Amino acid sequence: MVEKECLEEVLRKLKVPEFQELRKRILRKFREPVALPKSVKKRGMVKSIVRVDKIYSIVNSELEKLIKTLPRESDLKPYHLEVLKLASIEDYRDIVGKIRGMQAVLRRLWRVYRLKIKSSVDSAEAKRLSREFVGRVMSVLRRLRHDFDRLNTAVRELSKLPCIEAGAPRIVVAGMPQVGKSTFVRLISTARPEVSPFPFTTKDIILGHLHIGFSRIQVIDTPGILDRPLSKLNPVERKAVMALKYLADLVLFLIDPYEGAYYPLSQQLNLLKSVTEMFKGKEVIVAINKIDLVSDDRLHEVEGRIAEVYKGRILRMSALKKQFVEEVLREVVKKLGFSENCLKSLSV
């Protein structure tokens, strides 16, 4: 399953059972009249067996479908496991294992009660045993209630992730909130992240594609990260760090040079320093965005301060005004190893 179809896409189609919903289905099915041919003997006993079979079929079918669709822990990549930790789920394998165990318990109950009903002395005893079976099934499902809820949280969080291709190179666009990441990603790729004048508009990892000739690059927009220790980051910021750690082949770090920016340059530079130190070995490109808002003198000042913490080439652009965006892209795709012929097909 996971090899043939993107895990995140599979999980978007998965529905984790809810206890109350299953309970209603079971009780409704149990109350349904059972029609039997006139030739059937011991009709009360047979009706009870039919009801027990129907109840077991409903529950087992739901659990079997869930178990078959859920990925094994070995199918999950490191960034999947990191997302589960953000959702306070560090025992995914135990949860899935418990559901498998309870499925086996239900199978045993079904077999035992089928034999008991077949051995019942009259219709009244058969009916009592069938009701007892339903009560035991409900008890098992009630014990799984908390696990269903946690599993539903896990599936919901994992299904928010974009479907990452293993073979296509990945650019992660990073920086503090309000530096223009989403504007840039919307401009150069197929992604359509929301653009807003308020910080933390982007709350999840968003994927788009940039086509270069016959190749395509995955472009990943991330939530803004604040200048503070990793232990103090909120879950939204930690998603951005997770993308940098596990998904980035190259990091494009954006700087807002405007004096009245949401976050001062000093904080942006502290974050840049943290990113370059935390992810040594990853290619980091720095681009000053929003150059249309500041003077040349201010740009030179910002470049000088960036050079104190970053030793690479510093690029300039305005994603909003589409100024020098192609130059930034050319540097990015060149660092990713694309040929000069591929660069000729770039246009914004």
DSSP code per residue over 227-286: SS-GGG--HHHHHHHHHHHHT-SEEEEEE---TT-SS-HHHHHHHHHHHHHHTTTSEEEE
Any bridge partners for residue 215, and if so which?
Answer: 212
Mean residue pLDDT of the chain comes to 86
Tell me the average pLDDT across 304-330: 92
In b/e form, how buried is each residue of 67-86, taking b as 16+ CB within 10 angstroms? eeebbeeeebeebbbbbbee
CB atoms within 10 A of CB 295: 10
CATH 1.20.58.1180 fits 170-343, yes or no: no
- Percentage of residues of the chain with pLDDT beyond 70: 91
Sequence ranges of the chain with CATH classification 3.40.50.300 = 170-343
Q: Which residues, in sequence order, are CB contacts of 326 under 8 Å at separation 6+?
A: 346, 347, 348
Which of 27-31, 188-192, 295-299 is predicted least confidently? 188-192
Q: 132-190, pLDDT tens digit by residue?
A: 999 999 999 999 999 888 888 888 888 888 888 877 899 999 998 889 998 999 898 88
Scanning the structure block, which residue is given the tokens 């930034």?
328
Q: Given 3-state DSSP classes, what are the helix, strand and coil percentages for the chain, each rounded to the nearest 5?
A: 55, 10, 35
Length of the chain in terms of residues written: 348
Q: Going by C-beta distance under 8 Å and a sequence separation of 6 or more, which residues neighbour residue 133?
A: 52, 55, 109, 110, 113
Where exactly does CATH 1.20.120.1190 map onto the chain? 7-159
**CATH topology for 7-159?**
Four Helix Bundle (Hemerythrin (Met), subunit A) (1.20.120)
Q: Which DSSP state fits 223?
A: -
Q: Average pLDDT in the 97-110 region?
A: 94
Strand order in the sheet with 283-288: 206-212, 215-221, 170-174, 250-255, 283-288, 314-316
